[in-house]
Amino acid sequence: MDFKYGFVVSQQPAEYYMQFSRNNGLSHMEIDLHKDHSLLPSFDTRRIENLKKLAATYGVSFSVHPPYTLNLAEKNKALAQEQMDLLKQSIELARKLNAKFMTTYIGSVDNQKGLAAARSAALKRAIKALEQALESCQKCSLKLAIENTNLMPKDSENFFLGDNLKDLAAVFKEIDSPLLNLCLDLGHAHVNEGIAKYIDKFADKIISVHFHDNKGETDDHLDVGDGNINWKAVMKAFAKIKYCGPFLSETIDSPAQSKRKLLEYL
């Protein structure tokens, strides 16, 4: 299988990793817009042009990931507009970086009485927001990959939407667009209904994969082999659907080490 390996850039600016990426055959970087060194205002024209030159020199492609706190299900109209503005600014940055796709969480809902009804209403709001975002994506031929999220403990103050198969299926049912796809986070899927179910159900929608390990209980972001994910079965499943998109490390350890460990299962 000819995967495109890479990693989610979080701890240091993307510029810091260029030589490291080429040395280790990591040809894709997903820029996390959550840390101080990669907040949206830091990407002025000069920085964007420099990143594009570095990407061309070192053979790297980009995607971007808006902050994980982005909530497309926000109920307050003024705050919802702020969230949409943030998403559209992220889309514009992706366009300027010549990214082919952008990854995002759907949103969240507060823990409350009548949680099931609140979740349903929140998901409807998120779907409307995604439809609006896709109008911006359409203008620049950018794919939007929603990410399956991690399952929070039952006593959490809030819960992520998209932490189960049903949520994701509802989104794809309501929005039938080739621009809307899935970033399959393997660690999150393993804690939830199981990786195989996600691959089987959304095989034609997966355009990006986040990989890390855990023991099936919490989202620990362990290195490959340090949890109990059956990596051999996982790689066979991806071979079956002929997936060849980016495989992006989100492990605690070095993405180069994670790539080497993952290759052992091929």
First to last CA, the chain: 8
CB 99 within 8 A of CB 63: yes
Q: Are 249 and 7 in contact (CB under 8 A)?
A: yes
Cα–Cα dist 183/170, whole Å: 16
CB atoms within 10 A of CB 152: 15
CA–CA distance, 46 with 64 (Å, rounded to integer): 18
CA-CA distance, 175 to 128, in Å (whole number)? 9
Which pLDDT value is given to residue 266? Answer: 76
String of DSSP letters for 95-123: HHTT-SEEEE---EEE--TTHHHHHHHHH
Looking at residue 42, the DSSP 8-state letter turns out to be: G
Domains of the chain (ranges; CATH) run 4-264 (3.20.20.150)
Eight-class DSSP state of 192: T
How many angstroms separate the CA atoms of 228 and 33, rounded? 30
Q: Which position has the token pair 């691959």?
A: 199
Tokens of 188: 């999150």
Q: What is the chain's pLDDT, residue by residue, as a tens digit (266 residues)?
A: 567 999 999 999 999 999 999 999 999 999 999 999 999 999 999 999 999 999 999 999 999 999 999 999 999 999 999 999 999 999 999 999 999 899 999 999 999 999 999 999 999 999 999 999 999 999 999 999 999 999 999 999 999 999 999 999 999 999 999 999 999 999 999 999 999 999 999 999 999 999 999 999 999 999 999 999 999 999 999 999 999 899 999 998 899 999 999 998 87
Q: Which two structure tokens, joined as six digits, stand for 42?
A: 């830091």
